[in-house]
Amino acid sequence: MSVARRTGAITPRDISAAKGSTPLVCLTAYTTPVARLVDPDCDVVLVGDSVGMVLHGLSSTLGVTLEMMIMHGKAVRRGLERALMVVDMPFGSYEEGPEQAMRNAARLMAETECAAVKIEGGETMAETIRFLSERGVPVMAHVGLTPQAVNALGGYRVQGKGLEAERIRRDALAVAEAGAFSVVLEKVPETLARRITEDVAIPTIGIGASPACDGQILVVDDMLGMFTDFRPKFVKRYAELAKQAETAVKSYAQEVRERRFPAPEHVFGE
Ligand code: KIV
């Protein structure tokens, strides 16, 4: 049975158990209304640190703070009934070591009531992932393109081509062995995604990583077409909401200027 057909809140264990079955459906959300919208169809809702770029206009995720993640996490919590809620640990909140990560993960879980956190990084984060997992913090790992390392990686390019593939594979194996309950593979070639998915015991969740993965995740604003100027190859647009909104705003402006809005049906009588 797919995770999506079960009733009640989905747990990290349900996600682990879904390895190799019906693909896992995952989206981001940052607000209560969007969380309500995606909850019935998603297995996992991620409060991603992409919130910094998507909603706050930052040029990368590096300026996102723990307080921002807590605020958006609380908002998403109010909109979810069944999907598993995962909150991203922002840059600078976990890299110093297991104790710092534990302190901040505990704060995220206590204040947002999320059931799991996500951490970027492979082999170097394995010790931290093990520390958290053994202390009641389910961890979704994230390897391949890790946006918080954009400066070190030299941009948002595909990771794991040629000789790099083995490093990414080792990263995925290390986080799985350390106890992560699932792992996001971002922007890696299909052959590598397939190999990792076959080699690790936990579900792989792809973004720009082919259908070979055990599940897929997208930034909800990207797949809804909320941006007219951002069209990465790995995003399929299921709607063109930015275009629709632009047309709606133009119509409103014109009708106000021509005194056609408000019309009689929008006006209160005595
Ligand atoms: O921050 C984010 O939204 C993410 C994913 C889309 C995987 O990390």
pLDDT band at residue 1 using 50, 70 and 90 as cut-offs: very low
Tell how strand 44-47 and strand 84-88 pair up: parallel
Residue nearest to atom 5 of ligand 1 (CA): 48
Q: Which pLDDT tens digit goes with each residue over 195-249? A: 999 999 999 999 999 999 999 999 999 999 999 888 899 999 999 999 999 999 9
Residue nearest to atom 3 of ligand 1 (CA): 48
pLDDT at 7 over 60: no
Burial string for 13-38 (b: 16+ CB within 10 Å, else e) reads: ebbeebbeeebbbbbbbbbbebbebb
Pocket test for ligand 1, best of 219, 227, 235 (most atoms within 8 A of CB): 219
Which CATH number do you get for residue 224? 3.20.20.60
Structure token digits, residue 127? 């010790």
Q: Is 160 inside any structural domain?
A: yes
Q: Is 66 inside any structural domain?
A: yes
Q: Is 252 inside any structural domain?
A: no
DSSP symbols for the chain:
--GGG--S---HHHHHHTTTSSPEEEEE--SHHHHHHHGGG-SEEEE-TTHHHHTT--SSSTT--HHHHHHHHHHHHTT-SSSEEEEEPPTTSSTT-HHHHHHHHHHHHHHH--SEEEEEBSGGGHHHHHHHHTTT--EEEEEES-GGGHHHHTSS-----TTHHHHHHHHHHHHHHTT-SEEEEES--HHHHHHHHHH-SS-EEEESS-TTSSEEEE-HHHHTT--SS---TTPPPS--HHHHHHHHHHHHHHHHHTT-SS-GGGS---
Residue nearest to atom 1 of ligand 1 (CA): 48
Q: Is 263 inside any structural domain?
A: no
Q: Is 187 inside any structural domain?
A: yes
Range of the domain at 100: 3-239
Residue the block writes with tokens 């909150």:
87
Q: Is 267 inside any structural domain?
A: no
Find the 77 Cα to ligand 1 centroid distance in Å: 17
User: What pLDDT sits at residue 13?
Assistant: 97
Cβ–Cβ contacts within 10 Å for residue 237, how many? 15
- Residues with a CB atom less than 6 Å from ligand 1: 28, 46, 48-50, 88, 184, 186, 207, 217, 219
Q: Is 266 inside any structural domain?
A: no
**Looking at the DSSP assignment, which residues form a beta bridge with residue 119?**
141
Q: Is 198 inside any structural domain?
A: yes
Which phi-psi region, left, alpha or beta, contains residue 45 (left: φ > 0; alpha: ψ -120 to 50)?
Answer: beta
Candidate list 111, 186, 198, 240, residue with the active-site label? 186
User: What pLDDT sits at residue 229?
Assistant: 85
pLDDT at 6 over 80: no
Query: For the whole model, what pTM was predicted?
Result: 0.96
258 is catalytic: no
User: What pLDDT sits at residue 230?
Assistant: 80
Q: Which pLDDT tens digit goes with each residue over 57-94? A: 999 999 999 999 999 999 999 999 999 999 999 999 99
120 Cα nearest atom in ligand 1: 8
User: What pLDDT sits at residue 231?
Assistant: 86
How many domains is the chain partitioned into structurally? 1
Find the 97 Cα to ligand 1 centroid distance in Å: 22
Q: What percent of the chain has pLDDT over 70?
A: 97
Structure token digits, residue 11? 């747990």
